[in-house]
Amino acid sequence: MTQGNRATKSSGACRVDVIVVGAGFAGMYATYKFREMGKNVAAIEAGGDVGGVWYWNRYPGARCDLMSVDYSYGFSPEIEQEWTWSEQFAAQPEILAYANFVADRLDLRRHYRFNTRVTRAAWDEEAKVWRATIDTGETLEAPYCIMATGPLSVPKDPEIPGIERFEGTLLRAQKWPHEPVDFAGKRVGVIGTGSTGIQIIQTLGRQAGELFVFQRTPSFTLPMRNHVLEPDYIAEMKRHYRAMREAMRNNPTGGTRPATSRPFFSLPPSQRREVMEQAWINGGHTFLGSFADLLSNQEANDQVADFVREKIGQIVEDPKTAEALKPRGYPIFARRPCLDTEYYETYNLPNVHLVDVSKDPIIGITEKGVRTESGETELDMLIFATGYDALTGALLAFDVVGRGGRTLKDKWKNGPRSYLGFMAEGFPNLFAPSGPNGPAALANLVTIAEHDVDWIAEMVSFMEANGIRTVEPTVSAEEGWMALVLSMAEKSLIRKANTWWVGANVKGKPQGLTMFIGGFQKYRELCAAAAQDKASNFVFDRAAQCAAA
């Protein structure tokens, strides 16, 4: 196989220095970083091109709910200057165009094999290499393997009988067709009302003939207040990128949203109300930046939830529909807080119908549509926006076999365990940037990805400078990290909602909040401290000790 550089082939395997799995933001950056270090990189991607989740998620209304300036690479001042974002919150086509721009600019595609999946990755203890088998039957081998497989890359169908019977058009948000889909005059159903469903519903409500929303759990969603970026703003932003990136690294969200230490009840009621009104007007995730304790103080959380429910009641004209749209029974922000554009207003359109399947459960999919207890809704098209086997799904989708034949599936049978979120004891030289015990979905994934890849690259440089062939965390370092992650999680309201954040959306999956909730800045400090004390935290295998290999 050609990797555009110096891959060699011996004993049937294609030998390189680093294997990178994935062409999302983490994988692209890892490929670039290691190439710049002079490494021979072989990168594998299941999609037809770069972009990761943004390559697949082409559904109508797909958009990032982090600001474009945040959700972009900070490692290249040249790219920052050459690329211009058009909106405060970029839509999927623009994000994908950005990923393509970066891939072109850095000449990354020559390292990639697209439309290719890794089917197994196994550590060879004697040769000190990872061997990755790909679905062509070929094998790659390298001392280092970077699993940049992403926290949201394995789509999940709903557990509803009869899906295969549907004779209309079945569409999955996470694997959307590349060609345009026409909804005009069609009876369209949507199952799923998370961030994805909300974006689809607010878009298709204005395009479809009739839109039927099958809602099991309503999400809290806040106004995005998206807008076009004016030339003056862009010029200002480009002048200050360096300072902004520095601020992002020192921010709990890994983004530019200001943080606060102000507790909710430190203000008198009228001022709290004023702050909430302002947060609603400003839009975005302003609420979370307005009070420090919304994810730890139930009473504070209840008051914000009441405020948002009140807004829903004011916007949605039909009282029964408004009531069904008001989330209850879990804390606001404990499910991913969605950002929308006139989502609630969509339900005032005469062609949009809410089917509350928490009260009228779906029995099955039929040839003609969706059958609930009360009857059948006939549909031309049915869209699944039913989420992902998140955080661990991609890493457990194939066998990852570590030292002594132990698989990651076995190690993680009770939930993911790692050190710093991206290394695991028993799996030498294997790294999973933006992994499941880091800040993952709770902070800016691009900032996390860049940070993790930089940390890994520094570790590799240190190892090579010191004649070290392998690294893995010590048992006690991993135990300490997991104890910290789990004890912090105990205090968070996040664990009180049944979401993908805690594994509740996948039948049989171990439950629990295993993400690091301490914020990006703290995470970065802990990763830096870990690298400072290498002797305590890592087991190294020096070349001299395995001279025979």
Which residues lie near ligand NA7 (CB under 6 A)? 152, 158-160, 191-197, 214, 216-217, 336, 357, 362, 385-387, 441, 500, 505
| Side chain identity at residue 356, one-letter code | D
Closer residue to ligand NA7, CB minimum distance, 120 or 326: 326
Closer residue to ligand NA7, CB minimum distance, 191 or 279: 191
Task: Give the residue among 177, 216, 224 at the shortest CA–CA distance from 194.
Answer: 216
Q: What would the DSSP string read from start to end of 382-424?
A: EEE---B--TTTTTTSSEEE-GGG-BHHHHTTTS---BTTTB-
* CB within 8 Å of 75: residues ≥ 6 apart: 29, 450, 454
State in angstroms the smallest separation of the CB of 160 from ligand NA7.
Answer: 5
Please give the torsion angle defined by the CA atoms of residues 230, 252, 394 and 416, in that order, rounded to the nearest 10 degrees.
-170
Task: Give the residue among 543, 547, 50, 525 at the shortest CA–CA distance from 250.
Answer: 525
State in angstroms the smallest separation of the CB of 93 from ligand NA7.
Answer: 17
Closer residue to ligand NA7, CB minimum distance, 190 or 300: 190
* CB within 8 Å of 234: residues ≥ 6 apart: 84, 85
CA distance 182 to 174: 18
CA distance 436 to 148: 12
Q: By beta-carbon distance, which residue lies closest to ligand NA7?
A: 194
Closer residue to ligand NA7, CB minimum distance, 202 or 429: 202
State in angstroms the smallest separation of the CB of 329 from ligand NA7.
Answer: 11
Structure tokens at 271: 């001022």
Closer residue to ligand NA7, CB minimum distance, 287 or 500: 500
State in angstroms the smallest separation of the CB of 445 from ligand NA7.
Answer: 9
Closer residue to ligand NA7, CB minimum distance, 153 or 290: 153
State in angstroms the smallest separation of the CB of 250 from ligand NA7.
Answer: 23
Task: Give the residue among 28, 9, 11 at the shortest CA–CA distance from 433.
Answer: 28
CA distance 4 to 423: 29
Closer residue to ligand NA7, CB minimum distance, 66 or 146: 66
State in angstroms the smallest separation of the CB of 437 from ligand NA7.
Answer: 17
